[in-house]
Structure 1
Amino acid sequence: MVTKTRLHRFASRLHKWLALFAGVQIILWFASGAYMSFMPIEQVRGEHLIDRHAAKPLPTQPDLSGLASALAQHPDTSSVELLAADGQSFALLHVGHDKAVRVDSATGAVLPTLDANTATQIVLGAWKGTKPRVRDSKLLTTEPGDYRGDLPVWQVQLADGENTRAYVSPDSGKI
């Protein structure tokens, strides 16, 4: 009888602590969901900090003479985007389902993937307001908890008030 009472007391205490643990998690889940519901989605996404779609103007007469040879080298191209960076125009060929190839629109030569410095300059160029100090830039090959896009990707960590992390595709240069 004593063993049965002891087991019942242990089970009751265990049940109480497990319920408290689960209850706290549920309350935190509801609170964070309510916060995300009441905050503007642009702020949740960080769009108040970085203009992900900041269009750099193309030169008035971009040289597209190499585009035909680039398309011949990549016959499975599904679409082409003309973009500009540092005053130079380039073409972004969307090859297959998930591959992007940057080519020089004048020569048709495939451009190398972006380095850390270029990825950092892209992020700072799209930053709204006073430019923050860059804490770190690194090429990620495994998915971090706050990014669910294509890999590899450049992660640029900024030393702003919100510890912003921006992600730049090394193939396309898009944020």
Structure 2
Amino acid sequence: MKVLRYSTQIHKWVGLAVGLQVLFWVAGGLVMTAIPIETVRSEHRLKAAAPAALPLDQALPLAEAARLAGVAPARAELKTTQRGPAWVLTPLEGAPVTVAAATGRPFTAMTADEASALAVAAYRGEAAPRPAVLLDQAPKETGREGPIWRVDFNNAERTTFYLSPQTGEVVTRRSAVWRFYDFFWRLHILDFEDGDNFNHPLLIGLTALTLSIVVTGFILLWIRLARDLKTVRAVRAARRKAAL
């Protein structure tokens, strides 16, 4: 039967070509369902910050802060930070500019000791921190650009806190669990560069090939079940005929 022959050949050779990726998809799915996303994000390692009153008497008016910062903001946010109130000024083009709300100027440079102290204050657990390191360029895993403070903790997950050099806030959390999860996530979507592209030709092509395996598998299953059912009926008919 031509349908059986063609389906068998397609199923066999395409299965051989994409079988490894199907294994990665299944393994990645297992990892992503078995590990709680809260653990991946290290939410259990971050202390809940108590709401703090915003000292408006210490903040310059927006217009004055923007003038001193040399920014014409299209959007502005006044917020409390670990280093005092801050204006976050976002221009129409370019990155947001963060300045001390009291002066309209950038915050003073943060020391390693201060970065460590702020990281410890935000950390939930008993693990000791390693010395804070100021990175000139944020690692790709942070999803950020520019300088950033890194503080590693000696716990089982090897938690890392990344802090803003301006405000001292923990802007990103990473760990060995996150990196393990991220590895399988990249295998799952086949984007090893950025880990966020679902629409590239390789993934689409392999998904289409995998669909052909499923379709031909159903065809083979249907043909074989029909053949087995025909055999069972023939055997029963033979037995009834012999019994007469």
Same fold (TM over 0.5): yes
Q: How does 1:23-172 map to 2 (within 5 A)?
A: 27=23, 30-51=26-47, 54-55=49-50, 57-58=52-53, 62-65=57-60, 68-74=63-69, 75-76=72-73, 78-85=75-82, 89-96=84-91, 97-105=94-102, 107-130=103-126, 132-144=127-139, 146-172=141-167
Q: Which deviates more from structure 2 when the two are superposed, residues 149-158 or residues 24-33? A: 24-33
Cα distance in structure 2, aligned partners of 1:46 and 1:35:
16
Q: Does the 8 Å CA contact 2:54/2:80 hold for their aligned counterparts?
A: no
For residues 21-56 of structure 1, the C-alpha deviation after alignment (integer angstroms, 9 at most, x for no partner) is: x966764564244212232211111111114x7356
- Equivalence for 1:6: none
For residues 68-105 of structure 1, the C-alpha deviation after alignment (integer angstroms, 9 at most, x for no partner) is: 532222333621222143xx632232233423322142
Structure with the higher fraction of residues in strand conformation? 1
What letter is aligned with 2:65? Answer: A
TM-score normalised by the chain length of structure 2: 0.50
Relative to structure 1, the CA distance from residue 172 to residue 120 in structure 2 (aligned partners, 3 Å threshold; closer, same or farther) is same
Unaligned 5+ runs, structure 1:
1-19
The aligned length equals 151
Q: Does the 8 Å CA contact 2:147/2:165 hold for their aligned counterparts?
A: yes
Bigger Rg over Cα: 2
Cα distance in structure 1, aligned partners of 2:164 and 2:158:
20
TM-score normalised by the chain length of structure 1: 0.66
Q: Does the 8 Å CA contact 1:100/1:172 hold for their aligned counterparts?
A: no
Q: Does the 8 Å CA contact 1:104/1:111 hold for their aligned counterparts?
A: no
Cα distance in structure 1, aligned partners of 2:96 and 2:132:
23
Identical residues among aligned pairs (%): 26
Cα distance in structure 1, aligned partners of 2:105 and 2:49:
25
Q: Which deviates more from structure 2 when the two are superposed, residues 156-165 or residues 132-141? A: 132-141
Q: Does the 8 Å CA contact 2:55/2:85 hold for their aligned counterparts?
A: no
Q: Does the 8 Å CA contact 2:81/2:167 hold for their aligned counterparts?
A: no
What letter is aligned with 1:128? Answer: R
Q: Does the 8 Å CA contact 1:56/1:84 hold for their aligned counterparts?
A: no
